[in-house]
Structure 1
Amino acid sequence: MMMTEEPPGRVAVVTGGAAGLGRATVERLLEDGFRVVVADLDRDSGESLAKECGPDVRFRHTDVAVAEQVRSLVGFTVAEFGGLRLMVNNAGVSGSMRMSILDEDFADFQRVFAVNLLGVMTGTREAARHMAENGGGAIVNISSVGGVQAGPGVLSYRASKAAVIHFTKCAALDLAEYGIRVNCLAPGGIPTRLLASATADDEMAKRIRAHMAATQPLPRVGTPQDVAEAVAYLGGDRSLHLTGTVLTIDGGATAGQKPLRPARVP
């Protein structure tokens, strides 16, 4: 049955919402009048953010790799705020960086896929089960340019993010008849603590960031707020005819490296 009614209320869930891209998204959605449930494993940061943001934010300690906790998260949100209109599946982990597949032991595979892929799949399913019975809504899944463009290192991470993109498109087709839009963001080159968690030391992370900045076409460092703006767009009323899309937020890096030209003479 085609669902055409406007979803009730402006209520969102942001997984991995206590820091980085997630925190910026929470703050941006509040500007648009959303009430938000922050889901995260970091209890201290999550509770602190909820306290800082006031009565329109709640915190729910959640491991998205555990299906029952994701189901409980959606139930908690509906009980607290009366509905769910926007689900942002942002929680993610990296893995240990290996510069060659010959050195890879895939010890991080199970956890990376449990959080990055299964967590997104479960979050999408649980949100959609509510939305399908309550006027539809929007789901935004966070992938990565690592899932769009091939490269060495963190192979489990790259594979999981590529799978998120394909899953998003499949879910978009499956859920469109219920008025549920499912879209995907693929950020890249944006400073968060995720890259540092994958590298052996801070110096390596700095070198990788410097390389990304030097090769992307736009001479600007991306910010978590850039991603948050895109979430607000895809989760709001300005994108009602968009579903199954993948938006890269990477300064043009996946379009190609910037051309080599002689320095401009003033």
Structure 2
Amino acid sequence: MSNELAGKVAIVTGGAGGLGRGIAERFLAEGAKVVVGDLGDGPPLSGDYKFLETDVADLDQIERLVSTTVETFGGLDIMVNNAGVSGTMHRRFLDDDLADFDKVMAVNLRAVMAGTRDAARHMAEHGGGSILNLTSIGGIQAGGGVQTYRASKAAVIQFTKSVAIELAHYEIRVNAIAPGNIRTAIVKKSAAGEDLERLEQFEEAIRAQMRNDRPLKREGTVDDVAEAALYFAGDRSPYVTGTVLPIDGGTVAGKVIQRKPK
């Protein structure tokens, strides 16, 4: 590690597991002080780190997360709005009662907007900073299933680009990462009302299709996403804002051309 984030303070929402934990671990390894906001218990991370139980659906708790970080570590340089939920899976959209619409939008979109706003309020008065929002290739590429989730992630992309224009005045960079087909536990959390075994079979069928459509055949990892987050968070990208970077093995670039054997 190159100690790339030495002296910097970061927040990672949803950092107790999955992509968020991978990002938090990478930031800590690069010398950052990190505050993880998530539900439940804090992960056993190594480094200068603090866990604050946070429900990002509650705007007051997001504000507390930012203010506690500033009070604890003396500032805030990097905000990663990572916390997200997939929503309940249905076999078809015609069966979707939209009962989880408010929850999905509250976590996946409103919390991103509030986290960006609250972090930017501090950064605007302290020389700027970097804000990174986690979206998904589901917000870029149309497809069936989890339509509320797709809509929320598409909204994050438009918000990221729009707010990047406004916050550039304060030397605040705002970018987004769009992971695709990277295994985390988010799908299992959407199993309410569904048989978990059938849900896992459905998920595996989707992943198999995505593997077939993906130009790069190796599987994406949490480390791939963490490396991209490090690029946006540190000093390597001072001229980059309003960008959405897919981490998807080329999936959204287009389907693989099946070549006939000679």
TM range (shorter): over 0.9
Q: 2:100 aligns with which of 108, 120, 123?
A: 108
Q: 1:128 aligns with which of 120, 124, 136?
A: 120
Higher relative contact order (CA 8 A, sep 6+): 1
Q: Is the 8 A contact 1:186 1:247 kept in 2?
A: yes
Could you say which residue in structure 2 is the equivalent of 1:10? 8
Which runs of at least 4 in structure 1 moved beyond 4 Å after TM superposition?
none
2: CA distance, partners of 1:158 / 1:98:
14
Could you say which residue in structure 2 is the equivalent of 1:213? 211
Could you say which residue in structure 2 is the equivalent of 1:4? none
> SS at 2:178's partner residue?
strand
Q: Is the 8 A contact 2:116 2:131 kept in 1?
A: yes
1:69-84 map, 5 Å: 69-84=61-76
2: CA distance, partners of 1:237 / 1:183:
14
- Paired letter, 2:64: S
- Paired letter, 1:166: Q
Identity of aligned residues (%): 56
Could you say which residue in structure 2 is the equivalent of 1:223? 221
Identify which range, 254-263 or 11-20, moves more after superposition.
254-263
Instruction: Note closer, same or farther for the CA distance 1:8–1:177 as it changes in structure 2 (3 Å cut).
Output: farther
Point out the structure with the larger helix share. Answer: 1
Q: 2:158 aligns with which of 155, 162, 166?
A: 166
Could you say which residue in structure 2 is the equivalent of 1:175? 167
Identify which range, 206-215 or 128-137, moves more after superposition.
206-215
2: CA distance, partners of 1:116 / 1:263:
45
1: CA distance, partners of 2:170 / 2:229:
21
Instruction: Note closer, same or farther for the CA distance 1:257–1:196 as it changes in structure 2 (3 Å cut).
Output: farther
2: CA distance, partners of 1:27 / 1:252:
26
Q: Is the 8 A contact 1:28 1:232 kept in 2?
A: yes
1:260 aligns with 2:258: yes
**Matched positions, count:** 252
- Paired letter, 2:132: V
Could you say which residue in structure 1 is the equivalent of 2:86? 94
Q: Is the 8 A contact 1:9 1:83 kept in 2?
A: no
Could you say which residue in structure 2 is the equivalent of 1:3? none
Give the aligned CA root-mean-square deviation in angstroms: 1.5
Q: Is the 8 A contact 1:8 1:135 kept in 2?
A: no
Could you say which residue in structure 1 is the equivalent of 2:179? 187
> SS at 1:172's partner residue?
helix
2: CA distance, partners of 1:95 / 1:78:
32
1:53 aligns with 2:46: yes
Normalised by the length of structure 1, the TM-score is 0.91
Q: Unmatched 5+ residue regions in structure 2?
A: none
> SS at 2:35's partner residue?
strand
1:84-140 Cα offsets, whole Å, 9 max, x none, are 000000000011122322111111100000000000000000000000011100000
